[in-house]
Amino acid sequence: MLEKRIIVCLDVRDGRTTKGIRFKGNVDIGDPVAMARTYYEGGVDELVFYDITASSERRSVMLDVVEEVARQIFVPFSVGGGIATLEQMRNVLLAGAEKVSVNSQAVRNPQIIDQGAAAFGNQCVVLGMDVQADDAMPSGYRVVIDGGRTPTERDALQWAHEATARGAGEIVLNSIDADGTTNGYDCRVTGIISRAVSVPVVASGGAGTPQHVAEVLSEGYADAALVASMVHYGTYSVADIKRHLQCVGIPVRLDGIP
């Protein structure tokens, strides 16, 4: 069985790491560069950096912060936020990221996925997908863009199929309803998407305990779990999460665990 990955998410606004609940009430929690270094030294498998206001402000990601983070870590690093063109993708990769995450701008212009996959390879293109439960949609989940501000007419399952067909090599699936609540992931939507696509799916939104992580990696069929609040506030460490997963029989990489 392949090892499951633990990924820490750094939501960045105005150059500072921030955290909210259901995309609202964000508070400043620290310097993303220093936090990235700490998580790297703590044994994290990957880091995700989201410039959370770039899309709504119609601008690209802050490359200077990306460069600083990339200098501090030696694990895969994914960056997203307002990326709408091939040139912006290239700039993010040149700044030190291994993967580029497209979300709102890909919904507006799906061809950016095709272009990115053709230019840099499927493994470099990550679809970030924020979803909200909605019985009006065929899958029961609606795609929402602009950092949770703008509902779309796209069904989550339909969009996952289209994006992977276009070349997205991974999906980071975030439940807006669960985001920041620390009450657990939405295993239902994670399972729906994971079983329907052939690319890795990263579960995001709601992690509060190591058992929540274990549940989504098994019941939700996720290939990786993204965590934020539970490690940002010091409730648990990456090592705590990985040791728990090992104890319940979920394979994880233990190299680098202090």
As annotated, the active-site residues are: 11, 130
**Closest-CA residue to 83 (of 38, 135, 128):** 128
What is the C-alpha to C-alpha distance for residues 137 and 91, in angstroms, rounded to an integer? 36
Largest CA distance in the chain: 47
**Both structure tokens of 184:** 């657990």
* R_g (Cα) of the chain, nearest Å: 16
User: β-strands 125-133, 170-175: how paired?
Assistant: parallel
Give CA 22 to chain center in angstroms.
15
Contact 220, 203 (CB under 8 A): yes
**Both structure tokens of 181:** 């609540």
